[in-house]
Amino acid sequence: MRFLLHPAALAAGSLAALAAAFAFQHLGGLEPCPLCIWQRWPHVATVLLAALSLGFRGPAAAAFLGLAGLAALAGAGLAGYHVGVEQQWWPGLEACAGGPPAQTVAELRERLLNTAPARCDEVAWSFLGLSMAAWNGLLSLGLAGLAAGALRRANWPDRSMAA
């Protein structure tokens, strides 16, 4: 029974991250940059894989939980990359800067009239000196650690994972 808490907590943590991201966007008015959008996908994968692990026992449950942990770890990697872009440690993607410079006046006018995405290299919100990307990275690392800990504590001799 104790094992079931780990995938549920993993799914709940990623669901909370997604809910916070959508709340900041739709209630708080903070438009996400392309890297912010990318960081949502590992949370979606973590939720789905953790939920799948609840429907299985033994090695299949372990496999889905392990994949959920890897998805969370991938999310931490994306968040770390985003923090590096925010801190100007390395350049971001071309999409993060609004694309290549306009070549004509008509192209510039078109870009100015259309809402440009938020820039990846600017911190839109921070708490305790950490950006949303940094908080997401810490949460994602914690979720990956939770999955790894659950796999490590599982009852491997009988492969039941019911311990």
Determine phi and psi for 145, rounding to 5 degrees.
-65, -40
Share of the chain above pLDDT 70, in %: 80
The span from the CA of 120 to the CA of 102, in Å, is 19
Q: DSSP readout, 78-132?
A: HHHHHHHHHTTSS---GGGGTSSPPSSHHHHHHHHHSPPPPPTTS---EETTEEH
Q: Which of 56-60, 71-75, 92-96, 98-102 has the lowest mean pLDDT?
A: 98-102
Q: Which of 71-80, 113-122, 126-135, 136-145 has the lowest mean pLDDT?
A: 113-122
The domains found in the chain, sorted by start residue, are 2-93+120-153 (1.20.1550)
Please say if the pLDDT value at position 99 is more than 90. Answer: no
Question: Residues 51, 7: contact at Cβ < 8 Å?
Answer: yes
Q: At what angle do helices 58-86 and 132-153 cross, to 10 degrees?
A: 160
The span from the CA of 103 to the CA of 93, in Å, is 19
Encode pLDDT of 22-38 as tens digits: 998 899 888 888 888 89
Please say if the pLDDT value at position 102 is more than 70. Answer: no
pTM over 0.85: no
The span from the CA of 111 to the CA of 96, in Å, is 14
Q: DSSP readout, 119-144?
A: PTTS---EETTEEHHHHHHHHHHHHH
